[in-house]
Structure 1
């Protein structure tokens, strides 16, 4: 089957209004403009304006022989960009404020505070033309380039330019919803000067400072009165505005504001990520690696796990030793350890004294088809029981429970989680052996290419495509009620005003919302992010018809591949064995994804919600500072604190300090000496050789190995093939589930790795690129089910690629070509 896909190279518009839904796209309009567009849509008094997009800057710079601040500022705009800028000048008229809006401004790599240009009192088309070029040029100064290099940011970043009517400010300033020095959240700090706010931001004058009790609970106090710029009532009004902005942005915020003719205007809003919580002092933790070779587990724990999650996952070691014993694997187990706060994993060797008994177990397991039995038991008996338990626990209204009943509910959910761990890893063993035996036979005995192996299985993992099919039904309901391609505002209005659509939305949220988006319990589940669901729905409604993820073509291709294989082997000595191994692989392949929801994701979500309810009660009684500090406790510690009204703040503060120390000290990629090649198995029974070889084959294709870079090769990344096909589109780097709302229809998703829950965003994307993972990783399986080209295990795609880059992904070769640097 050809899986080539239509290119998605349509250029973004050169200019967009702040009222245009496309102004919400940070990759095109920059952080500053995107936030203001969001706030304007939410009803805040943001002056009207337009954004000259980053794509316009890329187009301008592309024509230059040498890119410097001088050449960017001094080279004339081409006719198309000039016409767009002139139209902005005509529509806005009067004095304008022209501000740079960086794509990665206020980002993780570098804030660029005060480094990009702002030009005020711009009048006329020619002056605006010059101001736009000056803003772009500020991104190419030696100061900015040196700053980016020192901050670890690669290359030059695109800049958009925000153009708004200038507010003739009588007073102006900034406000912080969190004390920027102490992190205290019980007051809003308001700073003000007479005239425009730039003189305050630039440090030209010292302001009046007001401390305003949060939530209007007290009287504002002028702590540094120099200019009489504000009254107490006006300071309260500004503080209230800042708190409203913080509610929309979802956390502590600082704003820039201006007052003119008795009206308050919002000029900028930024999340204060650096001081979102008063940080405790770092507390060193031991860095004691056990004997053996330990590699950092970045797939399941890209950051240090919090104590509640870590304690739950410690049970994995016991379970995995049992799984190895059950299937007769010549390993003591797969093990996990926390070293310096970070999670590492190792393969534990089997004692020679235990080998004879283990070999006998392995032979019996193959002859009895234990792997097939375990999978069959899951499908016929265990999965229905888990479905019933999860449904019953989901129906509990935890807010209505007494403390004793809530503690018991926590115990029940923890038991579900533990049972899920046991079943999950037993299935991992069974699936790995069944798929590995089939993979070894087809690639080894038959000599087939790896891609052909997965063609025979792709289309069977229906759990992966379930969210997409349900989203399609929700989209169909929305299309019946809305004209054209709706934006988020239209969908919110529909949700608030149309009972049938609201019911369909809640059905989707109820069916698929009980899914933890990460293994870390501290992160929200899908049901807690209705805006994300609306964003996914918007993309579903707006995606190009070329992005067909219906699954029908994938299933048809699988049937054709199977028929071709049977025909090719008909009458041969290997036909019967191929048929038997294929049947086992067909049963095993969908279970790889299917069990994740029932045994991992849903238990995680249920445990998170119960823990938050318990912690909220403790916080209300002054025994815990915040509900989300629950995850610095273990489940039993939280239960006992609830039952005994125990103050746990000291314990939490110490563990938060340990977590902070771990973040500051990432540790080595590995500890110990890497073991040499395994001993020869030639003398062992065939069943053992097949089991161990198959298990190793599956593990290799789950993890993937990044290919070595080629000397002198630039403009491309090399990974391993994950899902066949070729696609060109705009890169969107998503480092965690918290950034899902960045994704737009047709984007090339670039991420460290994906978990099964990421399947909710796959209907929106055109291709996938990951840092890690192999052909049997969750990322690869989901991509193949959606017919999305995927290049995996590139090693560093999230560091090399940036939002807005134009790239081509060749999933058959694992190569990513970079068209825009």
Structure 2
């Protein structure tokens, strides 16, 4: 047994509730003193009291019945060591509460809220003993067992620890939700409280008082008439903000107060976070895979993306005649620290495009579906014919003009990047403040909008054109044949870093001394050696790589992450793998081999149809190729933004305007511009940075639903073959059998073995160099047009996107077959 307030670290045998309380103790909060009965000891006692459990497992206990179990538990003596600890721990005239802490209780995915019993008002040792038996008996409550079976949970997790805790007699008690679950305001907490104990609140016997408190800068004077002491309210506000930042996700916190002392009784994740909002339909689709919603988006990046998206999308909709009536609404919003784009407005426009099929559109971008069948399809009618023709003609004109200008635009943006990159490098600690600020404003307020707007327009054109052309192609081709037509584009930007890494590996392998160093030394030692001997041939190759591809990083739309130019660790790791592992090298080399487009058998079609297919497919391939080129340009300019922002941050830190140079990433570009123009103070910048850093931390570990809507959503249930472990959306055809490698972070990328099937939530463009050694790819997010899908097709590996919960259902080492045509993964049972 352990005393809760002395325990230093959580443990797997303590269960969710106790571990969360230990975390609260570590944060310095007041938690009532308690004594822990670990789950391993508790379950050993249960097996001794219930021999059937040891022999037959959980099924036998279900047949035994709760009354029989209760009688057995009542008759079997508690462990003598427990009784001795209890006698030493408990004080006279102090009430205690016996609380459950099941292994899976109060977890991220499920809470088991209300499933198990807590036994309060235990004043004597005999009452505590009886409370322990009653608490353990609740493990076998019919509703708890039914919940367990519904969730399909493994029997080895059927375990409970017990907490004997001092019972507080409070003046006030209640619960606090870190976000307002009633209105889905993600920076507002909802507080419910009653006078005295919370028992009446939990049981629903009384209606609690409710308060909503903004996270930042609440106006305390508005709570003057609140019966609860102001000091308690302020402490709760402060503690909830600390708790949500620590756990990084929405939290449900139980508390009580005696005079002005606040005690925390429980903290657990909110397992069902609302998706309903005030108006519209919004999504993060296509923002996760290599995108800006893959993690919390700090203020600087948010303000950049919002501005460029609003300008680019509104101008594009206007150019092709799909703009909404009246004033253009906001086309992006921030929620759960992630950008969501206005799906409602875009779909309203897409419905006017000839051949639009809602399901195809959603598949291409990875949008969740709240309908069955094809969804909305645009059908030609006399009334719509004129509008259809108008939109089609404008779209073709916009596409033609864009593609005509693309080569010159690409060259212009590359030259501008090279010039600005050099200009930023030449800045130093002695550079005048005005020079740094002017260059920052030039990059963020001018050239960025041009480069990112160009990329966005290319992406929009692709979406509209694919909607029109895919419908035509699928009249004559299967989906598998369609993917073959748009695969192997050739000379795609995101495959070039791997080719350069292979060049470095070839140089090293041709020299015995160099090879010996790369095989024996750690990456850290290689970095030290490179600093000592920068003129060595292998390190010159690495320097050349950093010069040409250093704008890439592990997370390319997170400005806080160092680029390969700043930190070569990831590059050295990849090259070392190519040198050390011949299978890895051969797989990477094979992925870059020039393979011509698959020759489809179209002999059954007329010559006219074959020519039409050839023309449409070539147009699509051209569009997809240009999309990747301008995506590469976008990545370059985000590198510029990071570099000049770091220079500005260092300058501001040196002058005392900011506390830390990294704070620059948590301040909107509009706020920084206002500061430069004398319209904001340094204190205001620091406050914005602190608040936004907290906001990002508060949702760091949260995986929000991909949609926000003003109505309740009922997502499509996907039926599939019972033999399939899970299904997803086909993104690259082919079939492969191999071992699973589940990865959630690029930092672990070196663990991948050649031929393995990578399973991850989403990828980033910084992962591209490793695609060549994969046997297949499975992501939980993304669409047919996402970066992962395009690079998978380029490398010729089968891929599946939108495979829900793939990282939870699949485990590293599993042998599976990935069918990229059927969109299925089947697990193989091994002896």
Length-normalised TM-score, structure 2: 0.55
- Correspondent of 1:467 among 487, 492, 497: 497
Contact kept in structure 1, 2:815 and 2:827, CA below 8 Å: yes
Change (3 A) 1:322 1:491: same
Residue 327 of structure 1: aligned partner: 320
- Correspondent of 1:791 among 797, 800, 804: 800
1:502 Cα deviation from its structure 2 partner:
1.1
Indicate whether 1:303 and 2:295 are aligned.
yes
1:382 Cα deviation from its structure 2 partner:
0.5
Residue 410 of structure 1: aligned partner: 440
Matched position secondary structure for 1:525: coil
Q: Deviations along 1:482-506, whole A, 9 cap, x unmatched?
A: 4478255275476454611111101
Residue 486 of structure 1: aligned partner: 519
1:311 Cα deviation from its structure 2 partner:
0.7
Contact kept in structure 2, 1:295 and 1:669, CA below 8 Å: yes
Q: Deviations along 1:600-644, whole A, 9 cap, x unmatched?
A: 211111101211221122223333222222111022433565786
Distance 2:548 2:638 in 1: 15
Matched position secondary structure for 2:487: coil
Residue 689 of structure 1: aligned partner: none
Indicate whether 1:450 and 2:503 are aligned.
no
1:36-75 map, 5 Å? none
Change (3 A) 1:290 1:376: farther
Contact kept in structure 2, 1:722 and 1:780, CA below 8 Å: yes
Distance 2:152 2:510 in 1: 46
- Correspondent of 1:524 among 558, 562, 573: 562
Indicate whether 1:502 and 2:533 are aligned.
no
Q: Deviations along 1:547-574, whole A, 9 cap, x unmatched?
A: 534468875341x426x44x554x5342
Matched position secondary structure for 2:571: helix
Structure 1 window deviating more from structure 2 (486-495 vs 724-733): it is 486-495
Change (3 A) 1:667 1:805: closer
Distance 1:617 1:339 in 2: 31
Contact kept in structure 1, 2:515 and 2:579, CA below 8 Å: no
Residue 344 of structure 2: aligned partner: 347
1:776 Cα deviation from its structure 2 partner:
2.6
- Correspondent of 1:584 among 595, 619, 630: 619
Please report the RMSD computed on the Cα atoms of aligned residues, expressed in angstroms. 4.4
Change (3 A) 1:488 1:625: farther
Q: Deviations along 1:133-160, whole A, 9 cap, x unmatched?
A: xxxxxxxxx9xxx9xx9xx998699xxx
Distance 2:580 2:749 in 1: 16
- Correspondent of 2:413 among 373, 381, 386: 386
Distance 2:333 2:392 in 1: 31
Contact kept in structure 2, 1:296 and 1:343, CA below 8 Å: yes
1:653 Cα deviation from its structure 2 partner:
1.8
1:409 Cα deviation from its structure 2 partner:
1.4
Distance 1:753 1:373 in 2: 33
1:302 Cα deviation from its structure 2 partner:
3.0
Contact kept in structure 2, 1:707 and 1:794, CA below 8 Å: no
Residue 365 of structure 1: aligned partner: 394
Contact kept in structure 1, 2:757 and 2:777, CA below 8 Å: yes
Change (3 A) 1:788 1:68: farther
Matched position secondary structure for 1:574: helix
1:299-698 map, 5 Å? 299=288, 300=291, 301-315=293-307, 316-329=309-322, 335-339=331-335, 341-345=337-341, 346-348=343-345, 349=348, 359=388, 361-365=390-394, 369-378=397-406, 380-396=407-423, 397=425, 398-399=427-428, 401-414=431-444, 415-444=446-475, 446=476, 448-461=477-490, 462-481=492-511, 482-483=514-515, 486=519, 489=522, 491-492=526-527, 495=530, 496-497=532-533, 499-516=536-553, 517-545=555-583, 548-550=587-589, 555-558=594-597, 560-561=598-599, 564-565=601-602, 569=605, 572-598=607-633, 600-638=634-672, 641=675, 646-647=682-683, 648-663=685-700, 669-672=706-709
1:310 Cα deviation from its structure 2 partner:
0.9
Change (3 A) 1:789 1:712: closer
Q: Deviations along 1:207-261, whole A, 9 cap, x unmatched?
A: xxxxxxxxxxxxxxxxxxxxxxxxxxxxxxxxxxxxxxxxxxxxxxxxxxxxxxx
Q: Deviations along 1:645-693, whole A, 9 cap, x unmatched?
A: 834322222223333445588766533357999xxxxxxxxxxxxxxxx
1:109 Cα deviation from its structure 2 partner:
8.4
Indicate whether 1:294 and 2:282 are aligned.
yes
Select the structure of larger CA radius of gyration: 2
Change (3 A) 1:426 1:584: same
Change (3 A) 1:748 1:393: same
Residue 790 of structure 2: aligned partner: 781
1:810 Cα deviation from its structure 2 partner:
3.0
1:403 Cα deviation from its structure 2 partner:
1.4
Gaps of 5+ in 2: 1-52, 58-106, 110-138, 140-144, 157-244, 254-266, 268-273, 354-383
Contact kept in structure 1, 2:247 and 2:701, CA below 8 Å: no
Distance 1:540 1:763 in 2: 12
Matched position secondary structure for 1:784: helix
Indicate whether 1:771 and 2:780 are aligned.
yes
Gaps of 5+ in 1: 1-66, 72-107, 111-141, 158-272, 678-704
Residue 741 of structure 2: aligned partner: 732
Distance 1:307 1:339 in 2: 12
Matched position secondary structure for 1:583: helix
Residue 801 of structure 1: aligned partner: 810
Distance 2:152 2:577 in 1: 30
1:716-755 map, 5 Å? 716-755=725-764
Residue 820 of structure 2: aligned partner: 811
How many residue pairs were aligned? 523
Change (3 A) 1:537 1:730: farther
Distance 2:152 2:571 in 1: 31
Contact kept in structure 2, 1:518 and 1:737, CA below 8 Å: no
1:774 Cα deviation from its structure 2 partner:
2.7
1:760 Cα deviation from its structure 2 partner:
2.3
Change (3 A) 1:814 1:350: closer
Length-normalised TM-score, structure 1: 0.56
Distance 2:247 2:698 in 1: 16
Change (3 A) 1:580 1:710: closer
1:351 Cα deviation from its structure 2 partner:
13
